Amino acid sequence: MENKNLLLGTFLNIRENEDYKEKINNFIDKLVNDYNILKEKIFIIKNLDNNKQYIITYIFELNVGERVDFNDLYQGTIPLQKHKETNTIFTINSLNKLIEKVSGLSDGNIDHKSISINWNNYKNTCIVLKDGELIISKTKRIFLCELL
């Protein structure tokens, strides 16, 4: 059976009394032990606009045609895209909303593929939708060695 790789992001929200290092390390251990994801393929991103949120990104291998509810994997998990040159992570829906914003046109009047995004304006950001609202957050990569 043919496989495809998906970039997933899990949004870990840290509560006031939680140790963020422990929570992140426990989640990474779950990915490695339960889903055979290599540590080298797991990246930790700090949301600089929300100091209680970390985004863990990783490649998840899936059989073509297989359906998965990513919230079964871990609540707050979504498929992401990445613009590598600017280290921007985003969802397809948020990209469409960004295109609407940049173009100034309403949803029904846009050929989304014909609008270019200046990705340098979104360097080191996470772009998602929350309750239909476009959220653009500054981000910073955290290295595993910083969590030990």
CA–CA gap between residue 22 and residue 5 (Å, rounded): 28
* Domain boundaries of the chain, sorted by first residue: 3-147
Tokens encoding 103: 């173009």
Amino acid at 32: V
Burial class (CB in 10 A: 0-12, 13-18, 19+), 126: buried
pTM over 0.75: yes
- Give me the percent of the chain exceeding a pLDDT of 70: 95
What backbone phi and psi angles, to 5 degrees, belong to 127?
-120, 115
- The confidence score (pLDDT) of residue 32 equals 94
Residue 148: band (very low, low, confident or very high) from pLDDT cuts 50, 70, 90:
low
Positive or negative: CA dihedral 51, 38, 89, 143: positive
Strands 3-13 and 53-63: antiparallel
Tokens encoding 45: 């991103």
